Structure 1
Amino acid sequence: MRSKAVVLLCLFFLSGCGPYSFSPGGKLSSDLKTITINNFVMNAAGGPANLSTTFTETLKEYFQRNTRLQMKPGGDGDLVLEGAITGYDVTPQAPTASDKAGLNRLTIAVTVRFTNNRDETGNFEQTFSFFKDFPQTQTLNQVEGQLVQPILDQIVLDIFGKTAGDW
């Protein structure tokens, strides 16, 4: 009898969650069918030569995996994402007693223009950035391969959350 009450109580609470979705792409209108993701350009000094290509492809792949939208080249999709990598900076962090940085921080910034060709109220231009720290005893060349992709992945998640996520 007690287990029936628990089940009924759970069903009661879950029934109030009908219109909400925790799946990716939760706030995309059903009339949206296509997305154009233009190649992001490199407007920052430094960084790997293929950084803008890597970022663009990571963004495209994420949207393809996590939405029902079809990629449409040419800039005339229902949704359009474009922009530039505007920052690639290494800064010292965590000073030590010997006036040397204990850590260095790699920060990547991407400025994104989002256009919803069906509903202009969601359009925006915003800079997204993320960082990873690395020990002062290592050079950027030694750790760059380990740091760049996780930073780009987080920026892609942030962009997705702002444009198509349900949060």
Structure 2
Amino acid sequence: MRFEHLVEVNDPDNPLAFTLEREHLWAGLMARVEDSVPFLPGMVECRILSREAGAVERLLVFGAAEVRDRASYVEAEWVCFETRRTAQHAGGSLTIRIEEPEAGRLFLRFTYETSFAEPGDDPEAVAYVDYIRAAYHAADLDTLAVIRELAMARSTH
């Protein structure tokens, strides 16, 4: 199943809020590649296993569960986190793209490819998928909040 949504980065109606630029977003996304712990509740360790141009292989530790993934990226454009299906993880991918449809108007597009089946007409399955979609959206808002905190901390130093 595929989930996709856009999150507007800056609120044009709140000029007092700290404004993120494309460079801030990219630095924040790369921070998530290098160490996802601040971005993912429950994660206790994120270890880089190998590195090549445009990608890293990582070990993610969530308590007793360990997951390997590959984070690939194109500078200042997108990052993609891909996890293979294992006994401990359902597998799937998350791609986060920086979009700027007009100058100064930034968005993050989050695209999830999951192993969840399409819910069809089953009301319980539809409710479950809606719950998953809402949880992903909340996590993506949290990602933007962490990126904003990192950018603000860097700007005060």
TM-score by length of 2: 0.31
Larger radius of gyration: 1
Q: Considering Cα pairs closer than 8 Å and 6+ residues apart, tell me whether 1 or 2 has the greater RCO.
A: 2
